[in-house]
Structure formats: C-alpha cells, structure tokens
Structure 1
C-alpha cells in the first residue's frame, strides 16, 4: 500500500500539471518512507460526465483518494497524508491560479481483517534490483 485513485474532470486532462500528477503522487508516496515499493499503485481516470459547483463548464476538479493498509498510528498517517497533499497542491497551484479548480484529497485506512492480497510484485522488484 498505498493505492491512489486520481479522478479529474475532462476539461483539464491535457493541462501539463494534470499530466504530471500520477508521477508526483507516486514519488510523494515513496518519499514518505512508510510505503513499500511493491505496494504502490496509482490509477488515473478522466471523468467525462460531471457537474462542478454552479455548473459552469469552466469549473474543474481533481479528486485523489489514497488508500493505505491498517496499522499505522495517526501521527504517521497524517504525516504521510500531509506530504502527499502538499505535493499535489504544489503541482496544481499554477492550474489553480489560471482557472476554477476544486482539489479534494482523502486518506482511507483499509480494514486489517478484510484486506486480502495475492501479490508477487515484491519478489520481482527485488529480483530486478539484484540484477542491476
């Protein structure tokens, strides 16, 4: 973990800041130092059917959900969330300055009891790292 879901309104998908968002979130998650490389997943989805605010077609949005595994204390979770959100805001500030933009970010902790894994990525990542 973490798994990040990014949604953005279609009217901003070609903006350079939005094009960089996947990588920025990926990098920020790893920079927290609490997430294993093999657990990071970043998904990006363009939403074409939406209404934002007063319905003006210039209004736009980015919504990020970061789902993390259970077991970290609140201080650790908050520090990681602050780091990722800070990076999202830093990246999107120029877009925010140019047009109406709503940015939402939330962290969800997954249930320790109902979170199942079938994952061999860690083994493959370690193999590739060893062959370099």
Structure 2
C-alpha cells in the first residue's frame, strides 16, 4: 500500500489530463520513503452525477483518497499527505486558475488484520531489477 483513489467530476476531462495526473501522483508517491514502491496503486474514477455549491454545472472537483496500512507515525503520514496534496495542487494549478475546481485529499489507515493482500508484483520487480543489473 498505499492505494490512491481519485474521484473527479466528468466536466474536468476537457481541462485536465487525468492519466497524467495519475502518473504524477504515482511518481510523487514513489519518492516518499514510507510508501513501498510495489504497493503503490493509483486509479481514477470519473463521476458523471454530482451537484456542487450553487448547482452551477461549471463547478468541478478532484477528490483524492489514500488508503494505507496502519502503523506509521502521525508526523510521517502528515508529511506524506502534504507532499501528495502539493503535487496534485501543482499539477492542477493551471486548470484551477481557469476553472471552478475543488481539490480535496484524505488519508486513512487500514487495519491489516481486516485487509488481506497477496500478489506477485514484488517478485516481478525483483526480477526486473536483477535483469537490469546483469
């Protein structure tokens, strides 16, 4: 972990490259020591039905949810939260200057006893690194 879920209003697709936003978040997360590379997942979901503020359809939103296994110190989580938020804000700055967009982010701990995981990504990452160094 962490898993990043980006929900965004459909009206932003004409103003924001959502795939590039996902990659920007992934690259930023990969540079944060507390996030294991193999556990990073970033996905985005377009929201077609929403109502914001005064109901004007020009308003849009990007909401980022970060889920990660419990156990990190509060200061570590706060620093990571701020780095991801800053990266998203930087990426969206031009779109936010021209459009009415709300940006929000929340990080939540996941109880590891209630969230089993398995996968082979680490094995494949290790193989790729071994092959690259050969």
Q: Give TM-score scaled by structure 2 length.
A: 0.93
Contact 1:10–1:46 under 8 Å retained in 2: yes
- 1:1-132 equivalent positions in 2, closer than 5 A: 1-132=1-132
Query: How many residues get paired?
Result: 132
Q: CA RMSD in A?
A: 1.2
CA 1:130/1:14 → structure 2, altered by over 3 Å: closer, same or farther?
A: farther
Distance in 1 between the 2:122 and 2:14 partners? Answer: 33
For residues 108 and 16 of structure 1, what CA distance do their matches in structure 2 show?
A: 26
Structure 2 gap segments, 5+ residues each: none
The answer on whether the counterparts of 1:13 and 1:19 sit within 8 Å (CA) in structure 2 is no
Cα distance in structure 2, aligned partners of 1:16 and 1:100? 12
> What TM-score do you get using the length of structure 1 for normalisation?
0.94
Deviation at residue 110 of structure 1 after TM alignment = 0.6
- Do the aligned partners of 1:7 and 1:63 also contact (CA within 8 Å) in 2? yes
